[in-house]
Amino acid sequence: MLPLPPVWDIPRHLLPFYKANVCPTPSEARQIGGLIADFKGGIMGGYNTEHVPQLRELLRLSKSIVMGFRQLPVEILEEIFAWVAAGSKPCTLPQSAMAYQHPSLILPRVSSRWRTVAMQSALWNRIELQIDPASYPRALHQLQVVLAQRSQRLLDIRVQDALDDNGVTSTRSLHNMVVPYSNLISELCLQLATVAVEEFLCLAANSFPALKKLQLFVYHVNCSRWLICRPEQEASTSEALSRVTPVLSHLLVNASCIRGTICHCMLLPTSIGINFGQLRELKLMVNIPHHSFLRVLRLCVCLETLALILVSVESDDPEQEEMDESPTTLSSLRTLTIKCYWSEAAYDFYGRLRAPALQHFTHVSWVDGSGYDGQALLRFLEHSECRLISLSLDRIKPLGRVELHKILETQPKLERLQLSECKGSFWDALLRPRAVLIPRLKHFTCKVLPAQHLDCAIKFVNSRCAPQQDAVALETVVLTTGFTSEVADLPKKSPGRILQFAAEVWKVFGVKVVSKRCSETVLSWYERYGDDAQGDPDEEQQEWLKIVDGLGRPA
């Protein structure tokens, strides 16, 4: 909730509306009448035919257009203000351009009547507070106004701290403002520096009995320089977090790091005090020791969604790590997202984790060179015995044909597959003459398709575009390429370069290539810079599009 601007910040042509809650002067009445007449004329002009009957009825219900302006229905007030403030911009009521510019914050500048309407507690279920040193007192005042008018409905409060070079804005005033209404807060999101988070959590210990979702976006600032958090900061932050309500169902911790700088922030040992037994969603976008985190996971018996980053972090207790070799089973886990910076960490983590009910799995490897990612992935899926619905693998370089074939062979229920930099081993596994792999596959995405595998891609797409006896038909295929050659240099009738041409047409002319001959199948090829493409194809390119339209026919 941002502070309301002073009167002099209002555009001159909107000042009559700002004073509409008082008896207008004759000149103001003429201005108001003219604006409303223009608005009514716009409705009669049919630029928004869908809402014309409703708006006409609202206008008819008002006894007076000018002197009775305060008695206009709330609906027509909102429409008038949205239309006037949009100015010359294209406007479609009620989804006007203002709908994307926080109308609840802009409209109070226009009319104090609307200000009263906007402050009604029934309209609010989320409060976003952006703090900066200049507007901090005013923002807190407006927050107090909103909270004072709240009913017993639960609140979702999001606080974003915008810092300057002088340091961290104090959170004590914010705490004093929020705590009286803490029993209404079900979701709390803090995007603050480390010191501010620690201060707020320490002040708000045991103050949120209704809190179900806690999000902490932590960054470390010291005179605009990014620093590695010290161990004493880790301990104090974890201790502060341990005093928050013990009935969380969603916990998200995101600590910023730049260019691989490890921020050992918000470590979660088993002694921090949160009752993880009720946790359903856990997202830790921080660098944590995977072996310590496994002990925490054993307490998350109800966990359904897990997302975390794996790095190589030395254990604080090597002896305990050696003793703790038993697997960790998450029987309720449905969605798992792993970003791995160290292949040995992934190998160890996947070797100890079991998720028999897993349905959606994403693995992103940021490891250069060879590693154990492919072996770790295969090891995890074999031990978990899960049946995935969607699988996304990104940058797993050591994944060979044998490993990939085993993975696909053990996932007969897979419906969505996304791979990055598919090599020849992938196409060899899919195009083998034996039984069809992943027979339920409906959505396939391949990022950065190599040029030498275009023929294989066409063959695979054509073979799966029509329903078969032992496999369903593909519904969506997205192949992203990185080619930069010119369209004129391509051979005109080379089937093995059709995909390459399609990518170039999308890049140069902004044409989306769609197959019309295969029902329920959409084949789209995007070039990484295709969003900036403009223009229309000429006759030669139209002929190429006809050739590309031949894709999708059964082989």
CB atoms under 10 Å from CB of 522, counted, come to: 16
Mean pLDDT to the nearest integer, 198-222? 67
Report the pLDDT value the prediction gives residue 390, as an integer from 0 to 100: 92
Phi, psi (rounded to 5 degrees) for 221 = -130, 135
**Residue of 38 and 513 predicted with greater confidence:** 38
**Residue of 84 and 157 predicted with greater confidence:** 157
Report the pLDDT value the prediction gives residue 179, as an integer from 0 to 100: 72
pLDDT greater than 90 at residue 359: yes
Contact criterion met (CB below 8 Å) for 396 and 376: no
Share of the chain above pLDDT 90, in %: 2
pLDDT greater than 90 at residue 360: yes
Least confident range of 148-157, 278-287, 409-418 = 148-157
Residues 6+ apart with CB under 8 A from 496: 454, 455, 458
**Residue of 363 and 492 predicted with greater confidence:** 363
Residues 6+ apart with CB under 8 A from 55: 43, 48, 76, 79, 93
Q: How confident is the model at residue 358 (pLDDT cuts 50, 70, 90)?
A: very high
Q: Which of 34-43, 187-196, 255-264, 538-547 has the highest mean pLDDT?
A: 187-196
Least confident range of 153-167, 380-394, 520-534 = 520-534
Report the pLDDT value the prediction gives residue 336, as an integer from 0 to 100: 92
pLDDT greater than 80 at residue 338: yes
Q: Which of 28-42, 84-98, 479-493, 512-526 has the highest mean pLDDT?
A: 28-42
Report the pLDDT value the prediction gives residue 389, as an integer from 0 to 100: 92
Q: Which amino acid is at 424?
A: G
Contact criterion met (CB below 8 Å) for 550 and 526: no
Report the pLDDT value the prediction gives residue 191, as an integer from 0 to 100: 73
Residues 6+ apart with CB under 8 A from 36: 65, 66, 80
Q: How confident is the model at residue 81 (pLDDT cuts 50, 70, 90)?
A: low
Q: How confident is the model at residue 123 (pLDDT cuts 50, 70, 90)?
A: low
Predicted structure pTM score: 0.59
d(CA 171, CA 151): 25
Report the pLDDT value the prediction gives residue 326, as an integer from 0 to 100: 77
Report the pLDDT value the prediction gives residue 70, as an integer from 0 to 100: 46
pLDDT greater than 90 at residue 334: yes
d(CA 372, CA 340): 11
Report the pLDDT value the prediction gives residue 182, as an integer from 0 to 100: 76
Instruction: Return the closest-CA partner of residue 433 out of 555, 288, 265.
Output: 555
Contact criterion met (CB below 8 Å) for 255 and 284: no
Report the pLDDT value the prediction gives residue 36, as an integer from 0 to 100: 59
pLDDT greater than 70 at residue 330: yes
Share of the chain above pLDDT 70, in %: 29
d(CA 301, CA 278): 8
Least confident range of 153-167, 235-249, 391-405, 406-420 = 235-249
Mean pLDDT to the nearest integer, 87-96? 35
Contact criterion met (CB below 8 Å) for 46 and 137: no
Listed in sequence order, the DSSP H helices in 259-316 are 290-297
CB atoms under 10 Å from CB of 490, counted, come to: 15
Contact criterion met (CB below 8 Å) for 465 and 475: no
Contact criterion met (CB below 8 Å) for 191 and 160: yes
pLDDT greater than 80 at residue 363: yes
Contact criterion met (CB below 8 Å) for 123 and 74: no
d(CA 23, CA 21): 7
**Residue of 465 and 59 predicted with greater confidence:** 465
The chain-wide mean pLDDT, for the chain, equals 59
d(CA 555, CA 553): 6
Q: How confident is the model at residue 444 (pLDDT cuts 50, 70, 90)?
A: confident
Report the pLDDT value the prediction gives residue 209, as an integer from 0 to 100: 74
479-to-272, 476, 515 alpha-carbon distances in Å: 46, 10, 14
The SS3 call for residue 264 is coil
Q: How confident is the model at residue 202 (pLDDT cuts 50, 70, 90)?
A: low
Mean pLDDT to the nearest integer, 31-53? 56
Mean pLDDT to the nearest integer, 357-370? 76
**Residue of 19 and 267 predicted with greater confidence:** 19
Phi, psi (rounded to 5 degrees) for 481 = -115, 170
Mean pLDDT to the nearest integer, 13-28? 49
Strand partners, 445: 418, 478
**Residue of 525 and 253 predicted with greater confidence:** 253
Least confident range of 90-99, 210-219, 416-425, 543-552 = 90-99
The angle, 0 to 180 degrees and rounded to 10, between the axes of the packed helices 74-86 and 26-44 is 90
Least confident range of 53-62, 277-286, 437-446 = 53-62
